[in-house]
Amino acid sequence: MKIVFATGNVGKLREASEILGEGFELVSLEQVGITEDIPETGKTLRANSLQKAQYLYEKLGCDCFADDTGLEVDALGGAPGVYTARYAGDDKDFNKNMDKVLYELSVLEGEARMAQSLGLKVKDKVSRRARFKSVITLIINGQVKMFEGALEGVIAREKSGNGGFGYDPIFIADEFPGLTLADISEEEKNAISHRGKALRAMAQWLQENSK
């Protein structure tokens, strides 16, 4: 069964193909001749993944899916959230994005320390708790299905590791204390990742429903 995946990222395509397994042929945007940026103007991850999948379905009229991922940091009120890719600007620079998150947390911690040193009552320690969330929208035989996955962890104090991409160097998953996602192997990350969970949920649904 052929399904178009709204991605140009070879790593994502490989991960999805491995998880879906035999019987599913995944096709990238490039392979179907889509070179333009697919609009993502929604206010939530669900809205964006639906918008991307619908765009593809309207253009191609075939089975397809799209994913959207965001990082939520509790102390930042859930930011960067839906703005994860462009948190520090439209150039989508991963280093600038990570620096912005680290800087904002350090400002909050600095304020808390100052308040404490002045003898003011500080509510709680600034939490570095965060999570990645992925939403996949699948359109199959014209029917829309959504799948979600999350990965819980904390934001590291500094960047570490050479693997992965995006915010991996500053994210420590609960499953690998003391190591960022960029310190662990691709297999270790895929086994616990937000996208891996959403993809496995979709794979299970497809296996049960696409006969």
Instruction: Kindly identify the residues of this chain, within the stretch 155-194, that bind ligand IMP according to CB under 6 A.
Output: 164-168, 181, 193
Residues 115-119: contacts with CB within 8 Å, 24+ apart?
none
Closest to ligand IMP by CB, 57 vs 167, is: 167
65 binds ligand IMP (CB under 6 A): no
Closest to 95 measured CA to CA, from 105, 83, 87, 107: 87
Catalytic amino acids? Answer: 68
**22-30, 67-75, 100-108, 202-210 -> range binding ligand IMP (CB under 6 A):** 67-75
Closest to ligand IMP by CB, 10 vs 115, is: 10
Closest to ligand IMP by CB, 99 vs 112, is: 99
Output the smallest distance, CB 166 to ligand IMP, in A: 2
Closest to 155 measured CA to CA, from 133, 189, 131: 131
Output the smallest distance, CB 140 to ligand IMP, in A: 20
The mark string for 107-136 relative to ligand IMP (x by CB under 6 A, - otherwise) is -------------------------x----
| Of the candidate residues 84, 140, 156, 206, the single one contacting ligand IMP (CB under 6 A) | 84
Output the smallest distance, CB 49 to ligand IMP, in A: 8
Which strand (E) or helix (H) includes residue 145?
Answer: strand 143-155
127 DSSP assignment: P
Closest to 155 measured CA to CA, from 197, 199, 110, 97: 97
Integer Cα distance of 61 and 141 in angstroms: 9
68 binds ligand IMP (CB under 6 A): yes
153 binds ligand IMP (CB under 6 A): no
Output the smallest distance, CB 65 to ligand IMP, in A: 13
DSSP codes, 26-60: EE-TGGGT--SPPP---SSHHHHHHHHHHHHHHHH
Cβ proximity of 83 and 100 under 8 Å: no
Which strand (E) or helix (H) includes residue 140?
Answer: strand 129-140
* Site of interaction with ligand IMP (CB under 6 A): 67-69, 84-85, 92, 94, 132, 164-168, 181, 193
